[in-house]
Structure 1
Amino acid sequence: MSLRIEPREMAEVLIKVRKMTLAQDMSIKLGKSLIMSGDLSPTDIAPVLAPNKYGNMAIFPMVWGFTHKATTKPLANCRVETADTKVLWKDSWYRRKCVIPASWYYEWGYPVYEDDSRSMKEHRNTKKAKFAIQTEGSYRTYIAGLYRYEEHSGMQVPMFSILTREAAGTVRDIHDRMPLILDKENVKEWIRPDGDPFSITEKALTNMVFEKAVEYHRSPTEFITA
């Protein structure tokens, strides 16, 4: 999975985050770009909604993917089915929830055709294609996640992981998993430190639309400055 953040749609947010001292320190000490728009992959810095010290929703720069000594790969996703029981995720599930606002997300899946008469085996043997998936009727897709702070390069770095669930709705046709997608009205409730993640999970959206992805090349418009 990867994410797409359209720079023009989130220009105000991106400008604000890039000016933060935390973002500047992360960029310098971790050697990471602060573009935070276009196509984003695990280990990139992204703009993330999380509670500030007063418990109110605010925007922060965070690195995508928890780290663990058992693997060199970033733990970019967390299964919602076990988030409240596994040691790695449990504390964040109850105390540190976040939301990643994206234009859409990408997933590799199996092409679907009109009047498809193939068997399931034939369908699964088809070469996978890259799809762009977003909330139906919205230009922004709110993806639920968990976050925590990790020690890297002498600083406490905020890291996030995306919650995934069993695919539902039309997404089931191309993939067996999907991110936990929130309605805009539930974003503030989700990130509340004392909120109930189980009740919000039950309200997750499944009305997604998708199409084969267009390969974008980074352009000057993605380098928005104040």
Structure 2
Amino acid sequence: MCMSLRIEPKEMAEVLIKIRKMSFAQEMSIKLGKSLIMSGDLYPSDIAPVLAPNKYGKKAIFPMACGFTHQATPKPLANCRIETADRKPLWRDSWYRRRCVIPSSWYYELGYPLYDEDSRSMIEHRNTKKIKFAIQTEGSDITYIAGLYRYEEHCDMQVPMFSILTREAAGTVRDIHDRMPLILDKENILDWIRTDGDSSDIVEKALTNMVFEKAVEYHRSPNELITM
């Protein structure tokens, strides 16, 4: 999956300001050499705002870096298939104990151009150059993407790292790609992140009503878009 995210600062200004003021986030930014802008386009290894339970079990916002690390690959593992998350050693503990939600304005996916009247063969279709689509929850400014997280030792500190859960594509997204993130309704966020929550039950309620359009090329939003 392409799976880069977009965060529009006007929609999440309060959250972004809160994280930037956290001493832990500032230390994390310095040691990892990563920006705390957290708005604009976000990619694997970037720091992003993530919803997870605090020590009292309440929903809270935390800075986390995107992608689990593994000795088998130098690249961050930013996606996790939901079909095997409860069985594979890399994900299993997080599936049961550390679930999170990544709020974003939309996510990006590479797919084939769509035409109202398309008489091309499947081979001709697959030979078409892919384009970038921006995909978001229908009727909402924020798309809540389900994920898993864990703590890893990096630069002499315990860094929270998250990975996005993916599922077989449904609805209109199937016309673009065969996979999509697991997307939650706002009302199901707390049930998903609770350690005693029934994750399988929430999965059954995952949203599939998405809207998409050809993506506009953006650059990272500058600091001045957010007033501290």
Q: Which residue of 2 aligns with 1:41?
A: 43
Correspondence for 2:68 among 62, 66, 69: 66
Give the secondary-structure state (helix, strand or coil) at the position aligned to 1:214. Answer: coil
Q: Tell me the CA shift for residue 221 of structure 1.
A: 6.2
Equivalent residues of 2:37, 2:223 under 8 A apart: no
Q: Tell me the CA shift for residue 220 of structure 1.
A: 3.6
Equivalent residues of 1:37, 1:222 under 8 A apart: no
Q: Tell me the CA shift for residue 120 of structure 1.
A: 2.3
* Of 23-32 and 74-83, the range deviating more from structure 2: 23-32
> Any residues of structure 2 matched to 1:36-185 within 5 Å, and which?
36-185=38-187
Give the secondary-structure state (helix, strand or coil) at the position aligned to 1:9. Answer: helix
Q: Tell me the CA shift for residue 119 of structure 1.
A: 2.4
Aligned residue identity for 1:82: T
Aligned residue identity for 2:152: E
Q: Which residue of 2 aligns with 1:189?
A: 191
Residues 17, 219 of structure 1: alpha-carbon distance in 2 compared, 3 angstrom cutoff: closer
Q: Which residue of 1 aligns with 2:218?
A: 216
CA distance in 2: counterparts of 1:220 and 1:31, whole angstroms: 17
Q: Tell me the CA shift for residue 219 of structure 1.
A: 4.3
Aligned residue identity for 2:144: Y
CA distance in 2: counterparts of 1:92 and 1:219, whole angstroms: 32
Question: Which runs of no fewer than 5 residues in structure 1 stay unpaired?
Answer: none
Q: Tell me the CA shift for residue 147 of structure 1.
A: 0.2
TM-score (normalised: structure 1): 0.97
Give the secondary-structure state (helix, strand or coil) at the position aligned to 2:9. Answer: coil
Question: Which runs of no fewer than 5 residues in structure 2 stay unpaired?
Answer: none
Aligned residue identity for 1:214: V
Equivalent residues of 1:17, 1:59 under 8 A apart: yes
Give the secondary-structure state (helix, strand or coil) at the position aligned to 1:145. Answer: strand
Equivalent residues of 2:39, 2:220 under 8 A apart: no
Aligned residue identity for 2:107: Y
Equivalent residues of 1:7, 1:221 under 8 A apart: no
Give the secondary-structure state (helix, strand or coil) at the position aligned to 2:211. Answer: strand
Aligned residue identity for 1:160: F
Aligned residue identity for 1:13: V
Equivalent residues of 2:85, 2:95 under 8 A apart: yes
How many aligned residue pairs are there? Answer: 226
Superposed CA deviations along residues 58-107 of structure 1, whole A, max 9, x for unmatched, are 00000000001111000000000000000000000000000000000001
Give the secondary-structure state (helix, strand or coil) at the position aligned to 1:10. Answer: helix
Give the secondary-structure state (helix, strand or coil) at the position aligned to 1:11. Answer: helix
Alignment RMSD? 1.1
